[in-house]
């Protein structure tokens, strides 16, 4: 494949908007979010509580319909999808893992029966082939030892790993997870993430995790920060081998510029220079400068203090 070959991303959201209206209040949960996840990628969307993460995942999983914008998932248009297509999409194109284990597993079935049940519903393999597939999935997630236990008889980490097995049983092209480690302690959540990373690497399963937990971000190559319903910054992790053959982990943070040229300045930048309401933008030869507008912060209008909004990495690197 040449570099110019265009690949269709598995997730492609452009200017996604979701407005909730209740009586006289209007909540803009997503305010023009842009997100692209390529096939085989593993991405974490990180943001504070209320930033719109679950809203995004509900849209991507076809449980909720966006108010405006574009959302394509595994080749399906989420704004224009009939009921039959939606059912097919949810049964075979995507797998889900939710924060509440009770939403992932049927409590009166064992781990093995939970997996067998989704294979049965999707009219997957039958008889011996089904039993073999169940064992394969239990082995893959390293939960073979709890195959005959009910949900309540498993630890939180085991439940979430069985939930992943259930989610990928029908061989979806994508795994979507909403706070999959939200109810787990640190060590257990690392195990669950490691399992997701392994499946992503071994099977090339496109994986999107939304979480408020910044430690999850450190374990995923690409992290997208969501603020006020919009993707604001993106951290890309890579390793570099130096001249002495030593490996260094690099985390570069980028601001996300959308199609119409909007971006979010980090709060630390706007606060330190008193930037608000109106700012002065100047095009310099190789960057754009942002300064307080006249009357906003008089003492800072001398032209000495400014935030440079570079096209390239934000200078202070890793946010953690
Ligand atoms: P997160 O998952 O990042 O915590 P959510 O996507 O759940 O955030 O919520 C984003 C915003 O949208 C919040 O202000 C929340 O109160 C609001 N919201 C979410 N779902 C609904 C709904 N069904 N009706 C009204 N407001 C909602
Ligand atoms: Mg949420």
CATH 3.40.50.300 fits 38-66+79-211, yes or no: yes
Residue nearest to atom 23 of ligand 1 (CA): 20
pLDDT-derived band at 6, boundaries 50, 70, 90: low
**CB within 6 Å of ligand 1 — which residues?**
20, 22, 27, 29, 47, 49-55
- Does position 243 have pLDDT exceeding 50, yes or no? yes
Residue nearest to atom 20 of ligand 1 (CA): 55
Q: What ligand has the least distance to the C-alpha of 28?
A: 1
From ligand 1's centre to the CA of 227, what distance in Å? 13
Q: What is the 3-state secondary structure (H, E, C) of 126-168?
A: CHHHHHHHHHHHHHHCCCHHHCCCEHHHCCHHHHHHHHHHHHH
pTM exceeding 0.85: no
Which of ligand 1's atoms lies nearest the C-alpha of 58?
Answer: 6
From ligand 2's centre to the CA of 57, what distance in Å? 9
Query: Which is it for strands 42-46 and 25-37: parallel, antiparallel or unpaired?
Result: unpaired
Q: What is the pLDDT of residue 308?
A: 57
Phi, psi of 79 (to 5 degrees): -90, -15
E-only strand ranges, 228-310? 230-241, 247-255, 279-283, 288-292, 307-309
From ligand 2's centre to the CA of 82, what distance in Å? 26
From ligand 1's centre to the CA of 29, what distance in Å? 6
Give per-residue pLDDT as tens, 60-102. 999 999 999 999 999 999 999 999 999 889 888 999 998 887 7
From ligand 2's centre to the CA of 192, what distance in Å? 18
Residue nearest to atom 24 of ligand 1 (CA): 20
Give per-residue pLDDT as tens, 192-210. 999 999 999 999 999 999 9
The span from the CA of 313 to the CA of 147, in Å, is: 47
Residue nearest to atom 10 of ligand 1 (CA): 52
From ligand 1's centre to the CA of 149, what distance in Å? 35
Give per-residue pLDDT as tens, 116-159. 999 988 777 888 999 999 999 999 999 999 999 999 999 999 99
Kindly calculate the radius of gyration of the chain based on its CA atoms and give it in whole angstroms. Answer: 22
Q: Where are the domains of the chain?
A: 38-66+79-211, 265-320
Which of ligand 1's atoms lies nearest the C-alpha of 49?
Answer: 4
């Amino acid at each position: 494949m040449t570099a110019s070959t265009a690949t269709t991303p598995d997730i492609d959201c452009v200017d996604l908007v979701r407005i909730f209206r209740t009586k006289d209040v209007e909540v803009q949960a997503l305010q023009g979010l842009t997100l692209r996840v390529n096939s085989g990628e593993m991405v974490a969307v990180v943001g504070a509580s209320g930033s719109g993460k679950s809203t995004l995942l509900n849209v991507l999983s076809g449980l909720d319909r966006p108010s405006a914008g574009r959302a394509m998932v595994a080749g399906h248009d989420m704004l224009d999808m009939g009921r039959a297509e939606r059912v097919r999409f949810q049964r075979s194109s995507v797998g889900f893992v939710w924060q509440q284990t009770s939403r992932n597993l049927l409590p009166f079935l064992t781990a093995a029966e939970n997996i067998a049940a989704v294979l049965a519903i999707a009219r997957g393999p039958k008889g011996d082939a089904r039993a073999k597939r169940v064992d394969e999935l239990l082995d893959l997630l390293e939960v073979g030892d709890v195959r005959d236990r009910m949900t309540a008889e498993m630890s939180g980490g085991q439940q979430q790993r069985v939930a992943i097995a259930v989610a990928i049983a029908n061989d979806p092209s994508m795994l979507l997870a909403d706070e999959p480690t939200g109810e787990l302690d640190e060590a257990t959540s690392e195990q669950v993430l490691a399992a997701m990373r392994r499946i992503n690497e071994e099977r090339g399963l496109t994986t999107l995790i939304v979480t408020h937990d910044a430690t999850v971000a450190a374990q995923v190559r690409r992290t997208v920060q969501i603020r006020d319903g919009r993707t604001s910054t993106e951290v890309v992790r890579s390793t570099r081998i130096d001249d002495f053959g030593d490996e260094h982990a690099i985390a570069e943070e980028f601001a996300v510029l959308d199609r119409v040229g909007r971006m979010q300045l980090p709060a630390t930048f706007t606060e330190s220079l008193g930037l608000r309401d109106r700012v002065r933008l100047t095009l310099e030869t190789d960057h754009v400068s942002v300064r307080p507008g006249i009357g906003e912060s008089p003492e800072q209008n001398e032209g000495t203090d400014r935030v440079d909004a570079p096209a390239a990495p934000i200078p202070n690197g890793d946010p953690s």
